[in-house]
Amino acid sequence: MKNEGISNAGRWLLNRRDFLRHGGTGLGGIALSCLLAEQKLIGADKSPVRPAWSPEHPNAPRKPHFTARAKNVVVIFCSGACAHLETWDYKPELIKRHGQPMPGQDKLITFQGENGNLTRPHWEFKPRGKSGKMISDLLPNLAGLADDLCFIHSMTAKSNTHGPAENQMGTGFVLDGFPSVGSWVSYALGTENQDLPVFVAIPDPRGVPQVGPNHWNAAFLPPVFQGTPFNADKPIPNLETPNSISPGAESGSRDFLRFLNDRHLAKHPGDSELLARISSYELAAKMQLSAAEVSEFSKESKATLELYGVNDSNKLKAGFAKNCLLARRLVERGVRFVQLFNGAYAMGEGVGNWDGHKTLKEQYEVHAPILDQPCAALLKDMKARGLMEETLVVWVTEFGRMPTFQKGANGRDHNPHGFTVWMTGAGVKKGFSHGATDEFGYKAVDKITTIYDLHATILHILGIDHERLSFYHNGIERRLTDVHGKVITDLLV
């Protein structure tokens, strides 16, 4: 068999065109109808479009609905709700009225209970770059990149609890069981690099965020579109051939397996699922090489390693730095969607993440250095390598925090009514700010923006109409944005 140079399966793969032609009523038909649907896209037709994916090549690249501004996405998620008022949202009135009750909000009850008085940020805000954007000293490296960032200061969330709010940021819905943004994007676009997963989630060195896998689950989308979680320390599970299997044993068993499968296929010609399964073993073998290569940093220059802080004495910072470098390497190799997590929940409230309820200052002094240099390095490095031309980077957190301190504590409670996220890279304006919260940073008041809008905008930048990208599940053509969402055209270039 081996000597014939090409396996039965290989021949079947080559003949796939013929196969599809013969089966014209099946997949070909679907493809055609989708193509037709896509051509109508410019009009007002908002009928659902289900991407023409095939089980044989689920991740084959697919065309967007219209010309894309970006090809790839990196989402940086700060778990625990990073306080906008300590970082990106400058509120002079809050500083001025420090220690006074928030007007009109007497006895306000939020997530953990009663609130105390307005409290000024712990870090000084200064003008940055040419834009003069006011950003605090908490994240000095990121602040230095202000001229590249595009802020949305009027973001709002539907829930003030981590679980549902993370669900919403990650999947569009506050409930469990909905597909993640990355799964939708994988489903819509596939990938250009078949040797790596189409969608990678990089958990923080400290663990996963509150709703963990919901951030990368495919839910009711076909599981092939779910994110593959791994980071610089923890490779893809079961990626490596076990030690007890020698290279000879591995190739011997693969040959034997192909032999068995080819004979089986010969008895069942035309059953494409069998073929797909044979090729999935070939893809797995390629992935073993590529996924190992992408996590291997020995060819990175010393300057690059230093830029990120990969060898920093702060182990957590070094761990996150490695993850940031991994993110760049994944994007470089054509991975469509990368999620980079900063913070985890397993260590408890505020200890391992940005959930600063009780001792915000002490906790943020720990978390900020872990995020700041590595994340800024990722942006600089991607820009220097030209990756930003085709990559959209989105920095998010599940909601904001209060302008007041909690009664009897030195931290801020949850606040979904107004907070900041930012974008940078392909498709968005630089040094730009959209929307605003009120004078204390409590509620979004100008150009109020929802997570639906954010998701609609991400899809739009990728060339996808969020109102049309659809998957049928139990009675509904489901969308990432449910029945909501407006593209924030203001910030598009």
Partner 1 sequence: MVLIPYLFAAAAWGQKNESEKISTSAVLIDFTTDIQPLLKDHCVKCHGANKQKGGFRLDEKIAALKGGENHAPAIKPGNSAESPLIQFVSGTVPDMKMPPEDSSLSPEQIGLLRSWIDQGATWPDDGTREIHWSLKPVSRPAVPSIANRQSQRTNPVDAFIKEKLMEKKLKQSNEADRRTLVRRLFFDLTGLPPTPEEVNAFERNNSPDAYEKLVEKLLASPRHGERWARHWLDVVRFAETTGFEVNTPRANAWPYRDYVIHSFNQDKPYDKFVMEQIAGDVLGEDAATGFLVAGPEDLVKSPDPVLTSNQRADELHDMVSTTASTMLGLTVGCARCHNHKFDPIPQTDYFAMKAVFEGVRHGERKLKTADSEKREQELSRHRLRLAEIDASIEELEPLAQAAYIRTNELRAPVNSRRNVERFVPLPVKRLRFTIVETTDAEPCLDELEIYSAEEKPRNVALSAVGTKALASGVYPNSDIHRLEHINDGRHGNNRSWISNERGKGWVELEFPDLVTVGRIIWGRDREGKFSDRLATGYRIEVAQGSNDWKTVATSADRQPHKPGAKEQAAVNISGLKPEQAAQLTRLLAERKEHESRIAALSRDSLFYGGIFTGSPGPTYRLHRGDPMQNREIISVGALGVIPVKFEKPSPAGGVVIPEKLTEDQQSRLALANWITDPANPLMARVMVNRLWQYHFGDGLVNTPSDFGANGARPTHPELLDWLAAEFMAPTAKTAQPWSIKHIHRLIVNSTTYRQSSAMRKDGFDADAGSRLLWRFPPRRLEAEPIRDAILSVSGRLDLKMGGPGFSFFEPNDNYVRVYAAKKDFGPETFRRMIYGTVVRQRPDGVFGVFDCPDGGQIAPKRTRSTTPLQALNLLNSGFIMQQATFFAGRLEKETGSDVGGRIRRAFALTFQRPPDRAEMQMAAKLIREQGLTVFCRALLNANEFVYLF
Contact (CB, 8 A) for 412 and 85: yes
Element (H, E) at 319: helix 315-332
Q: Which is nearer to partner 1, 92 or 270 (CB)?
A: 270
Least Cβ distance, residue 196 to partner 1 (angstroms)? 10
d(CA 3, CA 325): 42
Instruction: Output the six-digit token pair for 247.
Output: 């290279």
User: Which stretches of 337-418 are assigned E, i.e. beta strand?
Assistant: 337-342, 391-397, 400-401, 404-406, 414-415
Least Cβ distance, residue 280 to partner 1 (angstroms)? 5
Q: Which is nearer to partner 1, 36 or 483 (CB)?
A: 483
Least Cβ distance, residue 48 to partner 1 (angstroms)? 11
Q: Which is nearer to partner 1, 80 or 425 (CB)?
A: 80
* Residue 8: C-alpha distances to residues 18, 134, 269, 318, 483 (Å): 15, 64, 10, 48, 47
Q: Which is nearer to partner 1, 417 or 434 (CB)?
A: 417
Q: Which is nearer to partner 1, 390 or 477 (CB)?
A: 477
Least Cβ distance, residue 483 to partner 1 (angstroms)? 9
Least Cβ distance, residue 132 to partner 1 (angstroms)? 38
Least Cβ distance, residue 470 to partner 1 (angstroms)? 12
Contact (CB, 8 A) for 202 and 323: yes
Q: Which is nearer to partner 1, 39 or 251 (CB)?
A: 251
Report the residue count for the chain.
493
Q: Which is nearer to partner 1, 6 or 347 (CB)?
A: 347
Least Cβ distance, residue 42 to partner 1 (angstroms)? 25
Q: Please provide the distance, in angstroms rounded to a whole number, between the alpha carbons at the two ends of the chain.
A: 55
Q: Which of 468, 416, 480, 482 is nearest to 154 (CA)?
A: 416
Q: Which is nearer to partner 1, 58 or 121 (CB)?
A: 58
- Taken in order 398, 403, 404, 410, the sign of the CA dihedral is positive
Long-range contacts of 304-308 (CB under 8 A, 24+ apart): 304/381, 307/377, 307/380, 307/381, 308/373, 308/374, 308/377, 308/378, 308/381
* Residue 114: C-alpha distances to residues 106, 158, 348, 409 (Å): 9, 20, 21, 10
Which DSSP category does 194 fall into?
T
Least Cβ distance, residue 9 to partner 1 (angstroms)? 10
User: 151 has which bridge partners?
Assistant: 422, 433
